[in-house]
Amino acid sequence: MEELDEYRLKLLDYLDRQPAEYRAVLHAIPARHWPTPDVGEAGESIHRLVAHVRDYETLAFWPRLRRVLIEERPTLEPFASHNLNAENYLPNEVMDDLLAEFEHTRLEATHLLRKIASEDWSRTGFHPPSGNRSVMWWAERAHNHARDHLREIEKVLDTIGTRPFKPLTSQP
Q: What is the C-alpha to C-alpha distance for residues 143 and 115, in angstroms, rounded to an integer?
A: 18
The residue ranges of every structural domain in the chain are 2-160
* Domain boundaries 2-160, CATH class: mainly alpha
pLDDT, tens digit, for every residue of 117-132? 999 999 999 998 889 9
Query: Do 83 and 89 contact (CB within 8 A), yes or no?
Result: no
Which among 25, 21, 49 is positioned nearest to 36, based on CA atoms? 49
Sequence-distant (6+) residues with CB within 8 A of 171 are 14, 147
Backbone angles phi, psi at 48, to 5 degrees: -65, -40
pLDDT, tens digit, for every residue of 18-27? 999 999 999 9
pTM of the shown model = 0.89
Q: What pLDDT, on the 0 to 100 scale, is given for residue 157? A: 83
